[in-house]
Structure 1
Amino acid sequence: MSTQSDQTIDAINRFMDSFIGFGTDFAPIFDAADNDPDCAIAAAYAAMLGIFMETPEGREIAGKYYAQAKSALSKATDRERLFTAAVFDLCDQEVGNLLKKLRELVTDHPGDLFAAKFGQNSYFNIGDDEAMLWIADSVFDRHKACAYVHGMRAFGREQSSMLELAEEDGRKATEMQRKEPWAHHAVAHVMLTQGRHDEGIKWMQDLSNEWEDRNSFMFTHNWWHQALFYLEQEDFETPLKLYDEKVWGVDKTYSLDQVNAISLLWRLEQLGVNVGNRWQDISDHVAARSMINDQPFYDMHYGYALARGGKRDALERLMSGLEEMARVAPEITRKSWADVALPSTRGFIAIAEGNYHDAVRWLSKARPRYQEIGGSHAQRDLFELAWLTSLLNAGNYDEALPVLEARVNFRQDVPMDARLLARAKSRH
C-alpha cells in the first residue's frame, strides 16, 4: 500500500476484515483517510463506507472521499489505482464498468481478497452464479490457508448447484475458523435445498453463538435461515418467535435487515399464518427510507410491505422510481428492472390487495427471469411461493399442480411442499 502510516494500515486491515467477515469495525477508515490524504485507496474504502450507509448523508461522505481519492491517484500503485477506479464506478452507478474492473482485479491481483469478495457480492446482485464461482476459484490457491476463501467458494458452489462440494467447503471453513458465518450460511443453503431440515436446525443452532458480534445483516440473515427450517416443517410458532427476537429489530433502517424481515413475515402469511399487526412496524420503516430503487431485489420486497401496511404515498414513490429505473438504469440491469422487478412488484401489490387473478397475470410474465434480479435461490423462492399461492387462490390448479409435484419430488418429506400439493390436488 502507498502509505507510511501505521494508522492507515491498521484501519484498512480492520475495514477489510469487517467486510469479508461481516464484522462491525468499519469507522476507523474515516479518520485514517482524513489523516493520510495522499493514500488513495484509504479514501476509496472511506467512499465505499459512505455508499454502504444508504443515506443522503452517506452519499455526501462518499463524494468527499471520491474527490480525495482522485487527487491522490498519482501516488498510488497499479492495484490501488484499479481498485479506486472501481470505487468511482460504484459511486457513479456504472455497474458494467465496475464489474469489468473487478474481474481485472481478480485476474491480475489475486492477493486482493477484499476485491474478490466485493466482486462476488457485485455479481450476486445481478444473479451471475457462474461469475461468483469463477471469482472464488480464481483466488482460491492464493488464499487456501484462509477460512474466508473456503466460505466464498462454498457459496459460489452452492449457487451453482454443486451441493456436496459446497458443503465440503463450508464445513472446512468452519473447522479452520469457527467464526465464519458466511460458511455457516452456505451449508444452511445446502441443507435447505436438500430438505435436511433437522440437520440444518442443529448445524445453525450449534454455531449461533458466533453471530452475536457480527453486523446486523449477517446476524439477522443466519437467524432467517434458521427460521426457514422450522417454517418448512410447518412449525410456525418458532419462526414468529425468531422474527420478534432475532430477525427484526437489530437495525430497522438497514435494507437487508428489512428484506430478511419482510421475506420471513410474507412466507408465514402465504402459508396461512396470522402475523398480527407486524406489518405496521416494518412498513413504517420501509416508508421512511430515503434511499430506494437501489436494487430490484430489494424493491420487490418493499412493494409488498408498503402495500400490506397501507403506505400509499411511499408505495407511489417506490413505483414511480421503479418505472424510471426501467427506462434509465444502467444497461446491464435495465431489463431486470423493466421486465422482472416492475411487473413482479405490481403482482405483489395485487396479492396484498387480494386480487389474485391480477397477481398471476403480472407474476407469470416475470417468473421465468427471477435469476436476473439477484439474491440467492433460497431468497428468490419467496417469489416462487407468491406465484404458486396466487395460482391456488385464483383457482388455477392445473398450472400449479405440476410445479408443486416437481417440488415434492425434488425435496421429499418437506411438509410445506406436501401441504401446498395436497391443497392443489384437493381443489383440483
Structure 2
Amino acid sequence: MPLEDRLGLPLSTSAHEAASSYREGVDLMLAGWTGTAEALERAIAIDPDFALAHIARARVHAFYQQGDLARQKAAVARKLVARRGTERERSHVETLALAIEGRLPEAIAAMREHVEAWPRDAVVLSLPLGAFGLFAFSGMADHDRARHELCERVAQHYGEDWWFLTMYGWAMTENGDVARGRGVTERGFNLRRANAHAAHAVLHAMFEDGSIEAADRLVDDWIPGYDRAGILHGHIRWHQALGALEQGDAARALSIYADVLQPSVTQAPPLNVVTDGASLLWRLLAYGHAVPDALWRDADAAAQKLFPKSGLPFADVHMALFAAATQNHEALAARLAVIEQRLAEGKLPAGPVVPAICRALLAFADEDYAACVQVLAPVLTDVVRIGGSHAQRELIEDTYIVALMRSGELPRARGLLEARLHRRPSLRDRRWQAAMG
C-alpha cells in the first residue's frame, strides 16, 4: 500500500521516515511555522529521489527570495518526478515550478487544471490563495472574489481541515463577507493554534470589523509562542502597530517597528521587510506623526539591496514610498522608466495604476496635494490590481484622503470617509471626520 500525505494522496516514496518528514514539513509550511526547511531537508536526505520534497523545499526558498536555489531545486524535482512519479505528482511539480519561475499565467492555468483533478492537493491549492498568492499578483481586479470562489468550489473536499478553514475564512473576509469569514477562520485557528497563517487571517478579520483591542490582545497572548524567525512574526506585529496607529499611539507603533520590523532586527522574507517597513513609516508620516530621517534612510538602503530593479508591482509601489519619503527623485525616475516601458510593451498586467501610484506618492511627499489627488482619482478603483490585502492597500486610499483634506477638498474627503465607515468601523476615520467638522 503506497504511503500518503496528510490528505490521503499517494506519495512516490517507499521510505516511511521520508514520507513522515515530508508530511511534517508541508504542515509546517502551511502553518507558516519554523522548522519547515529542516523537515523537508530530512525527507530529502532519507530519500534523495523524492521529487515532492525537493519542490516543497524550492517553494520555501522562493518565499525568501532565494531565486537561484529555488530554481535549482525545481529543476531537480522535474527530473526526479519524470523518472519516479505519478501523474498527480508530475502535475504538482510542474505547477509549483512554473510559480517559482515567475511564469504566472502558465502557473495559474496549470493550478486550475490540477485542482480540478486533485482538489485535495493543498500545496497546489495554496498557490493562488493569500495576499501574496498567484491571484493577488496576477494583476486581476477581482482576485479577492476569485480566491473566495475557488475555495467555495473545493470546500466539500476539505471539511474541517485546519489549513483549509484558515484560508477559506480569510478569502471570505477579503471578499467582504467579514463576519462569516472571521467565524470560519477562528474555527481553523482553534483546531491548530500553532498556525501563524490562522492568527494572521483572524487579525485581518478584526481589522475589517474594527476589533482593534481584541486584535491587540490576541497578538499579546499568542505571539510569545511563535519564534521570531517565523515567516509571519514581524508581519503579525505589523498588524499590532496598525492597531496602535488606529488608536493614535504613534510611539507604540514606532516601538514595534524598532523591535521587529526595522532591517537590522527583522528575520522576515524580503518582500515583507520592504512592504511592512515602508507602509508603517509612510502611515506615520501621512497621519502627521514625526518619523526620524534615520529610520527612512536605513530602511531605504536595505530595500534597495533587496529590490534593486523593478519587477513586482506590489514591491515597486512600496519602493516608491521610500523614494518619495527620502526625496530620491532619481531612483524613482529610474524605476518609473522601467515600469512605463513594461506597460507600453503590455507586460504589466496590473496596468497604469502602478506608475500612477508612484507619481502620486512623490507628489504627496513634495506636499503637492492637489497633484496627488489629480493623479490618484482616476485609478483609485484599480489599486486592488497591485495585489496584497485590503489592510495593506488601504494605505493608498489613506494617502488620497489626507491629500484631499490638505488640498481643501473637504466635501470629497467627507464623502469617502462616510463610505468607508459603512464598510469598516475606524477610530482614525472618526477622528478625521471630527477634525473636518
TM-score range, shorter chain: 0.7 to 0.9
TM (norm. structure 1) is 0.88
Farther off after superposition, 298-307 or 394-403: 394-403
Alignment partner of 1:237 out of 251, 272, 296: 251
Q: How far is 1:416 from its partner?
A: 1.2
- Matching of residue 2 in structure 1 with residue 5 in structure 2: no
Amino acid in the other structure paired with 2:69:
I
Displacement, 1:227?
A: 1.7
**Structure 2 residue 341 is matched with structure 1 residue 324:** yes
Please tell me the residue identity of whatever aligns with 2:51. A
- Count of residues paired in the alignment: 416
Question: Higher helix share goes to which structure?
Answer: 1
- Normalization by structure 2: what TM-score? 0.86
> 1:378 deviation in Å?
1.2
Q: 1:63 to 1:409 in 2, by over 3 A?
A: closer
The 5 A counterparts of 1:199-348 are 199-212=214-227, 215-216=230-231, 218-248=232-262, 249-251=265-267, 254-277=270-293, 278-290=295-307, 292-312=309-329, 314-328=331-345, 334-336=348-350, 338-348=351-361
Distance change >3 Å, CA 415–CA 39, structure 1 → 2: closer
* Structure 1 residue 347 displacement after superposition: 1.1
State whether structure 2 residue 423 is matched by structure 1 residue 407: no
CA RMSD of aligned residues (A): 2.6
2:118 & 2:177 partners in 1: Cα distance? 27
Residue 80 in structure 1 maps to residue 89 in structure 2: yes
CA contact (8 A) 1:170 1:186 kept: yes
Q: What is the alpha-carbon distance in structure 1 between the residues aligned to residue 196 and residue 76 of structure 2?
A: 34
Range 182-191 or range 259-268, more displaced: 182-191
Q: Give the 3 Å change call, closer, same or farther, for CA 362–265 of structure 1 in structure 2.
A: same
- Give the counterpart letter for 2:19 in structure 1: I
Change in CA separation of 1:410 and 1:108 when aligned onto 2, cut-off 3 Å: closer
Could you say what secondary structure the match of 1:262 adopts?
Answer: helix
Q: CA deviation at 1:143?
A: 3.3
SS state at 1:119 partner: coil
Q: Tell me how far 1:34 sits from its aligned partner.
A: 7.5
Question: Distance in 1 between the 2:218 and 2:78 partners?
Answer: 46
Change (3 A) 1:214 1:90: same
Verify: 1:40 aligned to 2:57, yes or no.
Answer: no
The unaligned stretches of length 5 or more in structure 1 are: none
Question: What is the CA-CA distance between 1:296 and the residue it aligns to?
Answer: 1.1
Q: How does 1:45-56 map to 2 (within 5 A)?
A: 45-54=56-65
1:48-67 equivalence runs, <5 A: 48-54=59-65, 58-67=66-75
What residue identity is the alignment partner of 1:16? V
SS at 1:205's partner residue? helix
Q: Match for 1:124 among 108, 117, 136? A: 136
Tell me how far apart the structure 1 counterparts of residues 249 and 390 of structure 2 sit (CA, whole Å): 22
Residue 107 of structure 2 is aligned to residue 107 of structure 1: no
Aligned to 1:146: 161
Q: Deviations over 1:71-90 (max 9, x none)?
A: 33243211111122213322
CA contact (8 A) 2:234 2:268 kept: no
User: Residue deviations 1:282-306, cap 9 Å, x none?
Assistant: 1111112256434212211111112
Q: Partner amino acid for 2:157? A: R
Task: For residues 320-347 of structure 1, give each alpha carbon's deviation from its aligned partner in whole angstroms, at most 9, with x where no partner exists.
Answer: 33223324565xxx241x3111111111
Check whether the contact 2:31–2:198 (CA below 8 A) recurs between aligned residues: no
Question: Contact 2:323 / 2:332 at 8 angstroms: preserved in 1?
Answer: yes
User: Structure 2 vs 1, CA of residues 400 and 158 (structure 1 numbering), >3 Å: closer, same or farther?
Assistant: same
